[in-house]
C-alpha cells in the first residue's frame, strides 16, 4: 500500500471552494511536486495534511492511519514532518542546540534539555548537521545565520524527528536561484538515501522538473494532471493554465 493515500479531500472558505475533491497517493521515498497557479489551493492542501486546518471532508491515510481529525503535534509524532512554514528554531541557541532540542523532543526528553543540553544527542545532532552541510556552523547562534543556512538548519530540525514524509510548502521561497537548486538537491538526496517521501511546492519549474519523481498540477482546487515531467510538459491543459505557451 502507498505511504500516503488522500481521498476526496475538500475545503471551502466562505463561498470559495479552495480544495475540491482532491485524491492522490504518494509512495515511500518518492518526491512528489504539487504545482499550480497562485490561489490554486496548494497551501490549503498542505495545511489539511499537517492538521493545521480542518478538512470539510475526505480522508488522509498515512501508513494506514487516518490523519484527518488528529492534532498537528500527533501528526508530527507519527512521522509527518513539515518545514519552513513556521520558523522552528530558537535564535539565541546555537545551531547544534537547536538540533539537540529537536532530538530531545523526538525522544520525549524535552525536560532534560535545560540541564543537559551540552551533551545529550550531540553526536546525532552533528550527524544531521553534517548531512545538511551545516556542521561547520554548529557553534554559532542561529539568530545570526544567513537565510539559506537557516533553511538548512530547519531541515536538520525536521529530520531530527525521523520523519517518513516531509511536507514542504515553498521550501525555497525567498532564496536566490543557486541556493534554491542546492537546497532541493539536498532534499532529493536525503529522500533517496533515507527513504523519506517528500511532497513539495515550488515555482521554479527547472527545480521541479529536476527534482521530482512525479508531478501533480492543481488548478482552482482540482488536480488537472498527474505524471512524469514529460507528461506534464506536454499536457495541453497544463500549458494553458500554468506553464504558458
Q: How many CB atoms lie within 10 A of CB 212?
A: 24
Judged by CB under 6 A, the stretch of 36-44, 85-93, 104-112, 116-124 that binds ligand ADP is 36-44
Report d(CA 153, CA 89) in Å as an integer. Answer: 8
Instruction: Assess 197 for contact with Mg ion (CB under 5 A).
Output: no
Instruction: Pick one of Mg ion, ligand ADP, none as the site partner of residue 51 (Cβ within 5 to 8 A by kind).
Output: none
Query: Least CB distance from residue 42 to Mg ion, whole Å?
Result: 5
- Cell numbers for 99: 538540533
Which of 42, 131, 164, 180 is in the footprint of ligand ADP by CB under 6 A?
Answer: 42
Region 39-58 residues binding Mg ion, contact defined as CB under 5 A: 42-43
Q: Candidates 36-44, 111-119, 132-140, 145-153 — which segment interacts with Mg ion by CB under 5 A? A: 36-44
One residue of 18, 80, 104, 184 binding ligand ADP per CB under 6 A:
18
Q: In the beta sheet, which residues pair with residue 31?
A: 198
The Cα 136–Cα 88 span in angstroms is 20
Q: Which is nearer to ligand ADP, 146 or 173 (CB)?
A: 173
CB of residue 3 to ligand ADP, shortest distance in Å: 23
Using CA atoms, how far apart are residues 24 and 154, in angstroms rounded to an integer?
27
Question: Would you tell me the crossing angle of helices 147-159 and 122-131 to the nearest 10 degrees?
Answer: 130
Residue 211 lies near ligand ADP (rule: CB under 6 A): no
Interface with ligand ADP, residue 58, by CB under 6 A: no
Residues paired with residue 227 on neighbouring β-strands, in sequence order: 215
Rounded to a whole number of angstroms, the minimum distance from the CB of residue 244 to ligand ADP is: 17
Using DSSP bridges, classify how beta strands 57-62 and 65-66 pair: parallel, antiparallel or unpaired: antiparallel
We find the least distance from the C-beta atom of residue 50 to Mg ion, in angstroms, to be 13
- Are 125 and 94 spatial neighbours (Cβ–Cβ below 8 Å)? no
Cβ atoms 152, 128 nearer than 8 A: no
By CB under 6 A, name the binding residues for ligand ADP: 13, 16, 18, 36, 38-44
Amino acid at each position: 500500500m502507498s505511504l500516503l493515500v488522500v481521498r476526496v479531500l475538500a475545503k471551502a472558505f466562505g463561498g470559495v471552494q479552495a480544495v475540491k475533491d482532491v485524491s492522490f497517493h504518494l509512495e515511500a521515498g518518492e518526491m512528489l511536486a504539487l504545482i499550480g497557479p497562485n490561489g490554486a489551493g496548494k497551501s490549503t492542501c498542505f495545511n489539511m495534511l499537517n492538521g493545521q486546518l480542518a478538512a470539510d471532508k475526505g480522508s488522509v491515510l498515512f501508513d494506514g492511519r487516518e490523519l484527518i481529525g488528529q492534532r498537528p503535534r500527533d501528526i508530527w509524532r507519527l512521522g509527518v514532518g513539515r518545514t519552513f512554514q513556521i520558523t522552528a528554531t530558537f535564535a539565541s541557541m546555537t545551531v547544534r542546540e537547536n538540533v539537540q532540542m529537536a532530538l530531545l523532543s523526538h525522544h520525549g526528553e524535552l525536560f532534560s534539555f535545560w540541564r543537559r543540553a551540552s551533551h545529550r544527542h550531540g553526536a546525532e545532532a552533528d550527524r544531521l548537521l553534517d548531512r545538511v552541510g551545516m556542521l561547520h556552523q554548529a557553534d554559532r547562534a542561529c539568530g545570526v545565520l544567513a537565510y539559506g543556512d537557516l533553511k538548512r538548519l530547519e531541515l536538520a530540525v525536521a529530520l531530527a524527528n525521523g520523519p517518513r514524509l516531509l511536507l514542504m510548502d515553498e521550501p525555497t521561497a525567498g532564496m536566490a536561484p543557486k541556493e534554491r537548486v542546492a537546497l532541493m538537491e539536498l532534499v532529493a538526496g536525503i529522500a533517496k538515501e533515507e527513504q523519506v517521501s517528500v511532497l513539495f511546492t515550488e515555482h521554479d519549474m527547472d527545480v521541479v522538473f529536476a527534482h521530482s519523481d512525479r508531478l501533480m498540477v492543481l488548478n482552482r482546487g482540482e488536480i488537472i494532471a498527474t505524471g512524469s515531467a514529460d507528461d506534464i510538459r506536454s499536457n495541453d491543459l497544463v500549458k494553458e493554465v500554468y506553464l504558458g505557451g
